[in-house]
Amino acid sequence: MELLERCLETTMELVSERGTHFTMSELAASLGISKKTLYQMFASKEELLLAVAEHGFEQIKRCEQRILQDTTLSLTEKIRRLIIVLPEQYQKVDWYRVEVVAEKYPSVYRSIRRHLETGWEPTLSLLKQAIDEKILAPFLLPVFQGMVIGSMEYFLTSPGFQESGITYQQALEAMMDILMEGIERRC
């Protein structure tokens, strides 16, 4: 594995364990490299975290492609999985710490928000197909999209879920249960 990939993965491990409360020196030591080498790759911790976020969303896009190509999934199961897709290595991250990211690393938070708000075309297409095939009841797609984005942003910044022991993944799954229950056709 090349150094950049190792650096991104090790950073995710540190973020999973400690949020953003690690130093570049600690990361360099974990990688067995000098801090100077690390700073040649990333000019700042914010730049490093931005690269980690972008890498994470690239992996999400790969997972989305696998879901879209999976012929064993029903249309509603594809929709459900696309909306809450989170690669396995990111499921153990304490996503509730993103509020700290918003305060200390604004470019990283802007990247996360941009990714949450864009790239919806495949999901919207499947939702429209499911409505056309009368699998889902008719509803306003932009409202549904806004509800999902709003919920995800709320989950990322609200301490209430963390305090009650609900993981980010559990919150996403509960949100999808509620949303899908509301739009699935009843016979």
CA–CA dist 76, 130 (Å, integer): 7
CA–CA dist 51, 53 (Å, integer): 5
Centroid of chain to Cα 106:
17
| 119-133 average pLDDT score | 96
Task: Note whether 90 and 56 are within 8 A (CB).
Answer: yes
Task: Name the residue type at position 70.
Answer: D
Task: Note whether 35 and 41 are within 8 A (CB).
Answer: no
List of domains in the chain = 3-183 (1.10.357.10)
CA–CA dist 61, 55 (Å, integer): 10
Q: What is the predicted pLDDT for the residue at 97?
A: 61
| Mean pLDDT (the chain, rounded) | 89
Task: Note whether 113 and 102 are within 8 A (CB).
Answer: no
3 or 20, which is more confident: 3
Q: What is the predicted pLDDT for the residue at 152?
A: 87
Task: Note whether 150 and 167 are within 8 A (CB).
Answer: no
Structure tokens at 80: 């459900």
Q: Provide the 3-class DSSP secondary structure of residue 1.
A: coil
| 146-173 average pLDDT score | 83
Which letter does DSSP use for residue 82 in this model?
H
Task: Note whether 17 and 26 are within 8 A (CB).
Answer: no
In tens, the pLDDT along 64-113 reads: 999 999 999 999 999 999 999 987 767 666 666 666 787 889 999 899 88
| Block residue for tokens 């993103």 | 98
> pTM for this one?
0.84
Other Cβ atoms less than 10 A from the Cβ of 134: the count is 9
